[in-house]
Amino acid sequence: MRVEELIGVSRGILFDFNGTLSNDEGLLEQAYDSALLQLGLTRLDPGEYAALLGRSDPDIAQAVLEHRGEGARINEFLSALADIYPAASISAGCLTPDSVAFVKWLLNNDKKVGIVTGTLRSMIEPVLAEYGLAEELNCLVTIEDVQAGKPDPEGFALGAQLLAVKAQEILVFEDSNAGLAAADSLGMRVVGIGGAIETPRLAAHYSTMDDLAAEVVALEGS
C-alpha cells in the first residue's frame, strides 16, 4: 500500500521524534558528548551511542553514566542535556520545513496528529514551539508520561487514548525496532524512517521524513 493510501485509511497519526520527525540522531549524539564534557566526564566511546539507539533518553543517559561510574548524576546530566539540545536542534534545522509542512498538511486534512517519544518534555517542547507545532498537535507523550519506554507499548497506547482513535486506525512513523515492536503489538501500521529498522515488518519505508513529505506534496500538486 502506498503512503498516501495508508494515510487515507488512518484517522490518527503518531510520530516518533528523534531520528524520525526530526533528523537529529547525529546532533543528539553530539549533545550527549557535550553534556558529558560539561560534567567533567569522558566523551562517548566510538559506537557507544549507536548501541543504545531506540531507548529513552533517561535510559541512554543512565547507561552512559554507569559506564563511567557516575550513575548517581543522572538528574544533573539530563538537565545539561536539556540545556544543550533544543538550541542546537533549532540552529541545525533538524526539524525541516518539509517535515513541518507535512505535519500541518495532515492536521489540515482532518487527521489527529501526535508525538510519542522517549525524550524529555524539556527537550522537545522548545523545538516544537519554534516551528509553530506545540499548540497544533493533538497530543504529546514523552517519557515522563509513562512507566516504561519503547519497546513497551504504553506510550503508543496513551497516544491512541489521547487522540481518541482506535489503535488499528493509527499510522505510526518510527526509526527504531523498539518503536516498531511497541506500535506493532497494538495493531498499529508502521512506516519506517531511516536504515536502522526492520523493513520486512513495515507498511512502507523511506530513507528520511523529507523523502516521504516530498512524495505526499508532489501527489497533492499533481
Residue range of the domain that includes 133: 3-24+94-221
Q: Do 67 and 101 reside in the same domain of the chain?
A: no
Q: Do 88 and 101 reside in the same domain of the chain?
A: no
Name the domain boundary from 92, 120, 143. 92
Split at pLDDT 50, 70, 90, the class of 219 is: low
Name the domain boundary from 92, 114, 147. 92
Mean of pLDDT values over 75-89: 97
Torsion sign over Cα 57, 93, 114, 2: negative
Q: Which grid coordinates belong to 131?
A: 516551528
CB-based contact 6:208 (threshold 8 Å): no
CB-based contact 143:149 (threshold 8 Å): yes
Residue 196: pLDDT over 90: no
Split at pLDDT 50, 70, 90, the class of 220 is: low
Mean of pLDDT values over 160-177: 97
Q: Do 151 and 119 reside in the same domain of the chain?
A: yes
Q: Do 103 and 209 reside in the same domain of the chain?
A: yes
Q: Choose among 134, 146, 188: nearest CA to 57.
A: 146
**pLDDT at residue 222 in the model:** 44
Count the domains in the chain: 2
CATH of the domain at 165: 3.40.50.1000
Residue 177, φ and ψ in degrees, nearest 5: -65, -30
Question: Rounded to whole angstroms, how far apart are CA atoms 204 and 222?
Answer: 21
Least confident of 53-57, 58-62, 132-136, 218-222: 218-222
Mean of pLDDT values over 178-197: 94
Q: Do 131 and 194 reside in the same domain of the chain?
A: yes
Question: Rounded to whole angstroms, how far apart are CA atoms 14 and 169?
Answer: 11
Asked whether the bond before 153 is cis by omega within 30 degrees of 0, the reply is no
What are the C-alpha distances in Å from 116 to residues 47, 90, 162, 174? 26, 20, 11, 10
Q: Do 46 and 139 reside in the same domain of the chain?
A: no
Residues 6+ apart with CB under 8 A from 60: 32, 49, 52
Q: Reduce the DSSP state of residue 63 to 3 states and report it.
A: helix
What is the edge-to-edge ordering of all strands in the sheet holding 170-174?
A: 139-141, 112-116, 12-15, 170-174, 189-193, 204-206
Q: Do 103 and 51 reside in the same domain of the chain?
A: no
Q: Do 148 and 56 reside in the same domain of the chain?
A: no
Q: Do 169 and 81 reside in the same domain of the chain?
A: no
Name the domain boundary from 92, 107, 132. 92
**End-to-end C-alpha distance for the chain, whole angstroms:** 19
Q: At 62, which amino acid appears? A: Q
**pLDDT at residue 201 in the model:** 85
> What's the chain's average pLDDT?
94
Q: Do 73 and 117 reside in the same domain of the chain?
A: no
Q: At 110, which amino acid appears? A: D
**What is the distance, to the nearest Å, from the Cα of residue 89 to the centroid of all Cα atoms in its chain?**
13
pTM exceeds 0.85, yes or no: yes
Q: Which grid coordinates belong to 212?
A: 516521504
Q: Do 154 and 210 reside in the same domain of the chain?
A: yes
Split at pLDDT 50, 70, 90, the class of 214 is: confident
CB-based contact 156:14 (threshold 8 Å): yes
Q: Do 166 and 123 reside in the same domain of the chain?
A: yes
